[in-house]
Structure 1
């Protein structure tokens, strides 16, 4: 039995908790997977590195639009994959080495699966089969989330891929079925499509990215037809196929629905109905990208007195759970599962831990989540912050809406852009910018100036007239939209 001042479960953003302020604390870190969490290993960072390669391929494929004779012949998938993980894996390994090394003498790392057994006490089933009992005066839960596996008939009997595994495939498949229509499906589907895979997207909804503003969702769905064979409004009735089983390289395997690993197979069939008609599609690889769920259901939270809702740990604004001394943040407790939000939360949580021990001056800190932005790195790119037009009207707010195409700017002409736009929603009376939604090249960068203006309480008039916009930069589309309001 080991007792600590602080026990941390997870090494994503939670690995940022132990800083110099905690050098006098005895700390346990529990990690069941690879150091660095979702973002570093299987999420934001590797996927965007793949997206960049896909963008290069797509640029070559469309070069003829600009009078350039070029053709995209093929992609060296192993080289693309190894470039990505040749950068990422050493960082993950280095993070682990740092925490178990001499530079962190106050930290003990437990590599295994943690579950509560009582108040502020965890049993850790170690990878070697042994079990360690760990308790802490404080416990920080940063155990993240995992891919959601829908209860489709047959899914539990076939090997398949999720975002956790598909980026480590041995070779580029000729064909792929993607189940889902959210950001993960749209990003990874685009990667494989741009690199040469025939991608079929099977989605329950009538549009992709349906959580986005309606105009953005509709425009993205239309643009996606260039990359995907879209099967929308589909109700999946069965999944079958798959091939051999066996060992795979690190991460190069699919997960069965019970969580057991098996090698990727081939010749999958997905059957579904649309408009009352039965249809089916076949492909070499099956990617399940139907969302993510928090890992709270795997922590035996009830034994620790920690309240949750469907696996999502409930906290107050200071990240305290219902159990004294137990804290939670990030994808495990937030409805918004984004790395930049988790990073902001962990900075506040670190301060709150010190306040709780009278080692820092109060008050405790919270994070204002009203203006948390997000982006979808597909083609076209999407970025958003604040209310959609749909949400603003549902709230009964008096609004003004501006929608300006990229093609109405000089830089848009240079790009021959005819589909991208920036849509802004303002309060008609206070002139406050309520929401910004951009679809097109550099959307994730263009939205940042609007986030800053909203965060500092500027009106749309102040944003439009209080600064210069470089001509002929793409930022003029933002200026034009603000002026229209």
Structure 2
């Protein structure tokens, strides 16, 4: 990949056919796949050799949520005639999160340990102006490069200095040795909502801040409003607030410092929050800016996203450069990173005509708060912006859905966007119980081009929460023939 290899060969320590930079989900998949057909491959990594999901993301957050759900059920069963109060051992909660997280990570570490030592380089890579990879004291010339450098938490300018030790992120929250007394969570995206609710259920006094009156990035206003309604029954949320300043001040008892947030609420009134920690959940950014990727001819936009990106393989234009996983900022989800890494690792094989390219996944996201939030396929604005799509919105409320009410989880709303011309599902958005399973069914339907009729021809066991999906599909089918009406269809079988 060197731009001037004839001039720099004397300084090159190693020549490889493929260099993978980054050893997260995408990088590891790319490395394993490339090595199936080519042994002259090296992987370079700075930091932990596991994955963001296992180390600081999916798995530790779900471990925290699992503990929180148990505490919540114990404390909120009076309606069922069961009275109990959970005794929460914060140190044990956090210890189990780390122990189980490390258990999962041990399997990845074992795989990495099985790779040949001469194929692994522990260090930070930089691509110089000659197109060579500088790492530690080596210069590496690679014919093809796969960039899988992942992402990092985004922290607003100056906040780390002003908040000091009172600031935590999703990368550091799981290292807390005990549960704090109070916490502000800044950001109501997936990470913010999951951690805010989990800590709240574990006895932490949590307040959520977000600059817009929306949660989980929901683009269907009815679903977003319903999610806010359901979640605000547990969480204190200041949505539509503007944070003007953050910092620390001496506690009233003069024992250490506490954090503060000066903000304007949605009515424009000046307010201040004080507490033990501020969890900054303002999103993640791809780790690509300092890599020197532009020296390979890669162009980035104003948000550091690569231009000319092939979303199937991660290839950049006609260059022998592939940017995969969170590094390309396309769809920063594990299953997408896994597929992109696999596809890129196949493309760099010596006979790329035989490469197996995984088909690009449809958009599909789950937020594991309670009730869960799911988006599948096209969003409502994307559909509305396409004049060629004649659509209807099938709806069902879970507020009085049979099994949901039996379980005491009856708060939710599902919208399914159906195409009148094709009888196919274009997309869906939902907040409600069992949303992860309903989302998977709809994702399978969209991926396999199933019609609404075909979905309705499948059995729906009674009584299940999934019967709500049938109600929404029936509403789609009904509205294919008549103008859209705003009232929700209700489950009619008990």
Q: Quick check: 1:66 aligned with 2:80?
A: yes
Question: Displacement, 1:104?
Answer: 2.6
Mapped partners of 1:278, 1:374: distance in 2: 35
* CA distance in structure 1 between the partners assigned to 2:233 and 2:382 by the alignment: 29
Counterpart-to-counterpart distance in 2, 1:271 and 1:207: 20
Contact 2:400 2:410 in 1 (8 A): no
Following superposition, the deviation at residue 107 of structure 1 comes to 4.6
Gaps of 5+ in 2: 1-12, 477-494
Residue 271, structure 1, aligned to residue 267, structure 2: no
* Kept after mapping to 2: 8 A contact 1:295/1:312: no
Residue in 1 that maps onto 2:161: 156
What does 1:28-427 align with in structure 2 at a 5 Å threshold? 28-73=42-87, 75-100=88-113, 103-105=114-116, 107-125=118-136, 131-151=137-157, 154-159=159-164, 160-241=167-248, 266-274=257-265, 275-309=267-301, 310-314=303-307, 315-317=309-311, 318-322=313-317, 324-354=319-349, 357-358=350-351, 361-362=353-354, 365=357, 367-369=359-361, 371-396=362-387, 397-427=389-419
**Residue 175 of structure 1, CA deviation:** 0.3
Distance 1:269 1:349 in 2: 46
| CA 66–391 in structure 1, closer or farther in 2 if over 3 Å, else same | farther
* TM-score, length-scaled by structure 1: 0.87
Q: Is the 8 A contact 1:27 1:106 kept in 2?
A: no
For each residue in 1:321-373, what CA deviation from the matched residue of structure 2 results, as whole angstroms up to 9, or x when unmatched? 2573221111111321111111121222222112xx21x5446736334x221
Q: Residue 147 of structure 1 contacts residue 292 of structure 1 at CA under 8 Å; is this kept in 2?
A: yes
Residue 405 (structure 1) shift: 2.1
Partner of 2:488: none
Distance 2:398 2:264 in 1: 38
**What secondary structure, in the 3-state scheme, does the structure 1 residue paired with 2:440 have?**
helix
2:119 aligns to what SS in structure 1? Answer: strand
Q: CA deviation at 1:483?
A: 1.2
Residue in 1 that maps onto 2:22: 10
Task: Measure how far apart 1:134 and its partner are.
Answer: 2.7
Partner residue, 1:261: none
Aligned partners of 1:155 and 1:19: how far apart in 2? 37
1:290 is displaced (CA, Å) by: 0.6
CA RMSD of aligned residues (A): 2.3
Instruction: State the alpha-carbon separation in 2 of the partners of residues 20 and 382 from structure 1.
Output: 33
Distance 1:200 1:406 in 2: 26
Task: Report the CA distance shift for 1:223/1:203 in structure 2 as closer, same or farther (over 3 A).
Answer: same
1:149-178 CA-partner distances (Å, limit 9, x unpaired): 123x65433221111001111211100011
2:213–2:240 CA contact under 8 A, matched in 1: yes
TM-score normalised to structure 2 length? 0.85
Query: 1: CA distance between counterparts of 2:33 and 2:421?
Result: 48
Number of corresponding residues: 451
Shift of 1:116: 0.8
Distance 1:242 1:173, change over 3 A: farther
Q: Do the aligned partners of 2:131 and 2:295 also contact (CA within 8 Å) in 1?
A: no
Contact 1:120 1:325 in 2 (8 A): no
Q: Which residue of the partner structure matches residue 6 of structure 2?
A: none
What SS does the aligned partner of 2:185 have? strand
- Residue pair 1:145, 1:294 contacting (<8 A) in 2 also: yes
Task: Provide the C-alpha distance between the structure 2 equivalents of 1:58 and 1:424, rounded to a whole number of angstroms.
Answer: 30
Tell me by how many angstroms 1:90 deviates. Answer: 4.4
Give the deviation of 1:119 after TM superposition: 4.9
Residues 367-424 of structure 1: CA deviation (Å, up to 9, x unaligned): 334x221100112111110223333223333221121123444312312343223221
Distance verdict in 2 for CA 1:25–1:228, change over 3 Å: same
In 2 relative to 1, CA 95–121 (structure 1 residues): closer, same or farther, beyond 3 Å? farther
Contact 2:415 2:429 in 1 (8 A): yes
Q: Distance in 1 between matches of 2:196 and 2:123?
A: 32
Moved more, 184-193 or 154-163: 154-163
Name the CA shift for 1:39/1:417 in 2 (closer, same or farther; >3 Å). Answer: closer
TM-superposed CA distance for 1:430, in Å, is 1.9
1:388 touches 1:435 (CA, 8 Å); kept in 2?
Answer: yes
Cα 1:445–1:119 change in 2 (3 A) is farther
Identify which range, 3-12 or 315-324, moves more after superposition. 315-324
1:251 counterpart residue number: none
> Aligned partners of 1:96 and 1:463: how far apart in 2?
42
Given the superposition, is the C-alpha separation of residues 161 and 154 from structure 1 closer, same or farther in structure 2, using an over 3 Å criterion?
closer
The alpha carbon displacement at 1:269 in A equals: 0.5
Pick aligned residue for 1:22 from 35, 52, 74: 35
2:195 alignment partner, SS class: helix
